[in-house]
Amino acid sequence: MDIRNKLTWLLSLLFLVSMIAGCSSSNSDSDNTAASNVSVTGMVRTPDQLVLEGVEIYNDDGVLATSNSAGIVSFSIAANKADSVRLRKPGYAAQTVMLETNNDQADFIATLGKRSAAITLSADAAIDITGISGARVSLPAGALVDANGNPVTGTVQLSITPVDVSDDNELGVFPGAFSGTDINGDAAPIIMSYGTVEYYFSQNGNELNLAGGQSATIEIPVFITNHPDGIPVQIGDDGALWYLDEATGEWLQENVGTIIASVDSPTGMALQATVTHFSWWNHDIAPQICFLSVTPSGLPSDADTPRLHGSTTSSFPRTASTNLLNSGRTLAMPRGVDIELKSTAFAPDGLYRANTTHNCDGVAGALTLAFTGPETPIIHSFNGRVKPFFILELDPQNPSNTRWVFDRNDAIFTWSTVSAELLALTSDQGHNTTLGNATGSTQFPMGLNGVPADQYTFTLTATDSDNNSVTKTVNLPYDAEPTPILHEFNYSVAMDSTTQSATISWDVEGADSVTISYSLPMGGGETQLAASSDIAGTGATTLNLTQEIFNIVGEDYYLITVRFTNQYGTTTKYLSAWVSNPSSGGDNGGGGGDSTDCGELCA
């Protein structure tokens, strides 16, 4: 099965739950609401599951807590304000996390994704920018205002940050609840996303927005290619457009857009729509709902309250969780979709587990969830990757020049375990580390005593109090000749009455030089546009497409190739651009491929 279809609707199951009418009062949400305060504990991490320090948790009352070096936050919040909290950290996209209270306590795991590098623009000119994955925005000149409603002039910054909801690593960046209110004002207990984008305009660090009476056109890449009924998404389909209420975490449908062709979207499609303000915008559908009554069985009376997790495929981590009360719960589920339901609960004698797949194909249904146990330790996940590092040194062939030289590889690991008293991370080359947390991340040099091996086998061993052990392994190669590492790449096209230009920006590691050239997609050789051997880690350049291409070759689609090079090899990014005479009013477009950093380029 295609990976994109396997992940179709992975995002769908952040369930909104309602209580069964007969559940016990000791666990009821109403009792939690009546409490004066709720004690909250959370962990904040990146899409790579690395913990994130310095994240502020806040609401309308101000900052509640800041994550520590382990990514942990703890705070108390008034029960009548404990539905959601907001998270912020400079350089990261805004996030809202929903809280679920049980016995005056709540916990959460939040994911913050980096906000895309800002592009500097003029508020006095029309703006038409294409960013990562074909996320696009266009608006007229003079359409922006500050927080007080004052017109904005001069230079402004724009960050366009899409979330690929088909990627399980990016999935957690999706902000707020998977629920909201549709365009008719009716409650939507579940919404299912095809893709979401944050559009963030600022000036001097202050957020900007559209003036009253102004509108903008946006394009949200389509990352999910099938509708819930399995029918493929097609150009010309309608798509509901929703925006995030950051204070509540709920999504509100504003209008309906149309699926169009997009050369820059990874699926070739995007939702195009008109908006009257900027925020997180989401292409969603509100499916038909089945209310499934889930009742646990087989648990000891002294077991903790189990957590219930749901996803549409067993191949990927859970996409939703809620407390499964001893007397059961009623879950709102997308109708007619196979859902894998998993649950775990702790008892004094060990861990109990339940796992089943269910399709709720009517207005309502019922399921008895059978638990078995106790079990030995469990390693839910164990992932590793290699991170090369560079240092600058003089080129021995040309002492007046410096170049990036490979320094070392670090191994970066993330893990998640249950019921383990001891966690040990070892390698066949002699690494030996004890891990202190059931879930976490760590990073350390791969080479021991300065002597690296070509290949490493790392083993995570989880051992419980009865000395039962389970293991998982990861094989990592040693990369002694790393090509430049591209972290981010943006490309935008702008035109006025006489000139069409392209701005390319990047964030790259270990690049000694960059070259930019163009060619016809069907071949015919490359012509260099710009080159530099003085590259900064982050940079940008603007190319005059009218002067460099149109006046020489003429109107056509062109392949623009950006190459970042060091002594070990080249990292390449390909872009597509329609180059036309601006005075003729022709279309223009931009595309994305691989990229790297090039500092200041001379065209």
Predicted confidence at residue 510, as pLDDT, reads 94
CATH 2.60.40.10 occupies which residues in the chain? 35-114, 485-584
pLDDT digits (tens, 9 = 90+) for 70-113: 788 999 999 999 999 999 999 999 999 999 887 888 888 899 99
Q: Is the pLDDT of residue 516 over 50?
A: yes
3-class DSSP state of 80: helix
Distance in angstroms (rounded) separating the CA atoms of residues 241 and 87 = 24
Q: Which residues contact 237 (CB under 8 A, 6 or more apart)?
A: 258, 259
Q: Confidence band (pLDDT; 50, 70, 90) for 322?
A: low
Q: Confidence band (pLDDT; 50, 70, 90) for 591?
A: very low
Considering only the top CATH level, what class is 119-285? mainly beta
pLDDT digits (tens, 9 = 90+) for 168-186: 778 789 998 888 899 999 8
Q: Is the pLDDT of residue 596 over 50?
A: no
Q: Is the pLDDT of residue 441 over 60?
A: yes
- Tell me the backbone φ, ψ of residue 252, rounded to 5 degrees: -120, 125
Query: What single-letter DSSP state applies at residue 10?
Result: G
Domain 379-477 listed as CATH 2.60.40: yes
Distance in angstroms (rounded) separating the CA atoms of residues 163 and 165 = 6
The tally of CA atoms less than 13 A away on the side-chain side of residue 305 is 17
Question: Could you tell me the two tokens for 100?
Answer: 């679920």
3-class DSSP state of 54: coil
Q: Which CATH superfamily is domain 485-584 in?
A: Immunoglobulins (2.60.40.10)
Instruction: Kindly report the number of other CB atoms within 10 A of residue 392's CB atom.
Output: 11
Per mean pLDDT, which range of 201-205, 249-253, 372-376 is the poorest?
A: 372-376
Closest CA to 241 of 283, 304, 189: 283
- 218 and 200 in contact (C-beta within 8 Å)? no
Compute the C-alpha angle 66/71/72, nearest 5°.
70
CATH 2.60.220 occupies which residues in the chain? 119-285
Q: Which residues contact 331 (CB under 8 A, 6 or more apart)?
A: 15, 17, 291, 292, 294, 308, 310, 322
Instruction: Over range 568-574, report the average pLDDT.
Output: 92
Q: Is the pLDDT of residue 589 over 60?
A: no
Residue bearing the bigger pLDDT, 375 or 312: 375
Instruction: Over range 380-405, report the average pLDDT.
Output: 90
Helix (H) or strand (E) holding 11: none
Domain 35-114 listed as CATH 2.60.40.10: yes
Q: Is the pLDDT of residue 116 over 70?
A: yes
Q: Confidence band (pLDDT; 50, 70, 90) for 308?
A: confident
Distance in angstroms (rounded) separating the CA atoms of residues 196 and 171 = 10
Closest CA to 278 of 153, 143, 182: 143
Distance in angstroms (rounded) separating the CA atoms of residues 549 and 597 = 23
pLDDT digits (tens, 9 = 90+) for 335-355: 887 888 888 888 877 788 899
Distance of CA 192 to the CA centre of its chain: 16
